[in-house]
Structure 1
Amino acid sequence: MATMVPPIPTADDKKVDQKVDYSNLSCPIAFEELHREAMMSLKPELFEGLRFDFTKMLNQKFSLNHSVSMGPTEIPSQSAEVIKIPTANYEFGANFIDHPKLLLLGRAMTDGRVTARVKYDVFDNLTLKANAQLTSEPHMSQGMINFDYKGKDYRTQFQMGNGALLGASYIQSVTNHLSLGGEVFWAGQHRKSGVGYAARYNTDKMVATGQVASTGMVLLSYVQKVSEKVSLAADLMCNYLSRDVTASFGYDYILRQCRLRGKVDSNGVCAAFLEERLNMGLNFILSAELDHKKKDYKFGFGLTVGE
């Protein structure tokens, strides 16, 4: 009996004995980015027609962007038929990035739109974000300012926008994998207010998120990481006030020289987005969206030059 060796604890036993250290939880992601993994697969940047993007680095912090796009644009119509008119647009942009403290982005389009984005780390835990879009159309210009504060195991955000828009959100890490949060907002121009609640559970292999708001919106998403290069995503979006429901299933497949993303939803819409790396600083893009219900089919291809 004295020579008997006690059993060696297995990995499963160690997992059972593990306890949550509530004094050493990680900081959760921002409330507005709860569904970011699912959106990467389900919301690719689809486009129609031709697109060409060129980026010129002037130095390590400053760069210029030139973008040309040609393709049809949908116009509002009373009938179910989709009406499109041919359009062409040129966009000039300038970027200043002093990583990681300061980010300045500006864009000017030939259709009269001007956009700007600012991200500045005021302190180590406090970040200022500002977005603005100016248009020639009356009452269509928009502006938003966000203050994002990161605590040790929580994150809170306060935002102000034109139209007397006010909002605040808070998210807290409950365990190493689970975080809970909530938000409130007030749109003074439209005399509307609301509250929302969210939960996010993530591991190395999956991410599950749920969000509900008093406006009637319910959004559930799930991402399964099959491997380092393959992930599957699904979401369910519904409005229990208007009884609108949409379900989507998507994928994200990273190959050696390309990345393929796509989705199919319950409305009969299928989409795919391919980014092929032809050479250093040269990417080829293919975009396709098929709406069988509306008989609306969109195809696009483009080139991206520069990093």
Structure 2
Amino acid sequence: MGSSVSHAGAPPPPPPPAYGSPPPFAPADAAAAALPPKPHEEAAAEEKVDYLNLPCPVPYEEIQREAFMALKPDVFEGMRFDFTKMLSQCFALSHSVSMGSVELPSQGAEVIKIPMSNYEFGANFINPKVMLMGRISHEGRENIRAKYDLTDSISLKLTAQLTSEPHLSQGMCSIDYKGKDFRSQVQIGNNAFYGGNYIQSVTKNLSLGTEAFWLGQQRKSGVGVVARYDTKKMPTICSGILDGKVATGQIATTGMVALSYVQKVSEKVSLASDFMYNQMTKDVTASFGYDYMLRQSRLRGKLDTNGVISALLEERLTPGFTFQLSAEIDHCKKDYKFGFGMAVGE
């Protein structure tokens, strides 16, 4: 006889599931897994540290390099002229002339200056593996810097200051090793100087290091530790995210304590501050500086707790020609320094 149920009376098939929805009878966790991650979940995932893939830290002697750019401008007094001639892609010659005054050490608060002039001739050779830099003055003083990369990880460095005056020449030789996430250095110098340092990345932003030295001629030794925190993202309440934050700290058994902080406010402006304490001399100094980059000029300056104000302006007038203005004012000692210079190079 056949079935008594008509096909025309059958209910319509269920609609297909929507895109991205979980299939029927799926567990409740599947619906949450199908949703896109929330912003705070993405941030939490980025904060996980991969300790097997940490970045290589900066060299031990350069942990405060960002602060030095703003807080240690190369101010000068009088006139300065620098000329650089490129003879090839790797070799260059330089001439430097300066006229001004130099301060003499004194027991009292007064400042004693004598006029001076200087001429230096220099030669530089730089390629991917070798760096040779030398300068000699008209009085016979020589400054030598050399670096040779034996491998991608091992480098030899040599610095020397030679003079005709007895017991004033200095020299230092070092061997640097660059690892995947650490750096180490061994130093040997004149006057029976021996030293070494080591710095290790602990996280992607934090690196810790230590150093030790022995000065045999004076029978002195010392140990120091450093910490450097460098990040590319800094959340703020008022302006969201700013790039470039570097904080460093250094303590040594010689009685020296040094702290520095650099904040990149924008692509053109960086602010810096530091604190120095010397236990032996009981000298405490704090300073605040800035580094302002314009399209064709750069302005750097600082103010410290001793009342010293300094500034250095470098203006690039044309390609290869830079004009410099320098000023330093110390009202307490009544010491005022002003200078201008030009730098010409190809």
How much has 1:115 moved relative to structure 2? Answer: 1.2
Structure 2 unaligned runs (5+)? 1-17, 23-30, 233-243
Q: Does 1:68 align with 2:90?
A: no
Is it true that 1:140 corresponds to 2:168 in the alignment?
yes
Deviation at 1:55, TM superposition (A): 0.3
The higher radius of gyration belongs to 2
Match of 2:26 in 1: none
Task: Name the one with the larger strand percent.
Answer: 1
Matching residue within 108, 124, 127 for 1:95: 124
Q: Quote the Cα distance in structure 2 between the aligned partners of 1:275 and 1:193.
A: 41
AA aligned to 1:248 is S
Distance apart, 1:86 and its partner CA: 1.0
Aligned counterpart, 2:235: none
Q: Distance in 2 between matches of 1:76 and 1:245?
A: 20
TM-score, normalising length from structure 1?
A: 0.97
Does residue 111 of structure 2 align to residue 82 of structure 1?
yes
Within 1, Cα distance between the matches of 2:41 and 2:282?
47
2:180 maps to amino acid: K
Does residue 214 (structure 1) correspond to residue 253 (structure 2)? The answer is yes
Return 5+ residue gaps in structure 1 as ranges: none
Provide the residue aligned with 1:42 in structure 2.
71
Map residues 11-26 of structure 1 onto 2, 5 A cutoff: 11-18=39-46, 19-26=48-55
Structure 2 counterpart SS, 1:24: coil
Give 1:163's aligned amino acid: N
Show the counterpart of 2:25: none
Select the residue among 198, 210, 219 that pairs with 2:226: 198
Residue 295 (structure 1) shift = 0.8
Choose from 74, 78, 84 the match for 1:55. 84
Aligned length: 306
How far 1:227 moved relative to its partner?
Answer: 1.1
How far the C-alpha of 1:15 sits from its partner, in A, is 1.8
Structure 1 position 243 matched with structure 2 position 271: no
2:38 equivalent in structure 1: 10
Task: Using the TM superposition, give the Cα deviation of residue 241 of structure 1 relative to its aligned residue in structure 2, in angstroms.
Answer: 3.8
- TM-score, with normalisation over the residues of structure 2? 0.86
What is the CA deviation profile of residues 6-39 of structure 1, one whole-angstrom value per residue up to 9, with x for unaligned ones?
4432333222133110000011001100100000
Quickly say closer, same or farther: Cα 1:111–1:10, change in 2 above 3 A: farther
Match of 1:172 in 2: 200
1:232 equivalent in structure 2: 271
Q: Which amino acid aligns with 1:161?
A: G
Which residue in 2 is equivalent to 1:32? 61
- The one-letter amino acid of 1:302's match is G
* Separation in 1, partners of 2:323, 2:132: 27
The superposition leaves residues 198-231 of structure 1 with CA deviations (integer Å, 9 ceiling, x where unpaired) of 1000111200000000000000000001112111
* 2:283 counterpart of 1:283: no
For the residues of structure 2 that align with 1:201 and 1:75, how far apart are their CA atoms?
39
CA RMSD of aligned residues (A): 1.5
Q: Give the drift of 1:83.
A: 1.1
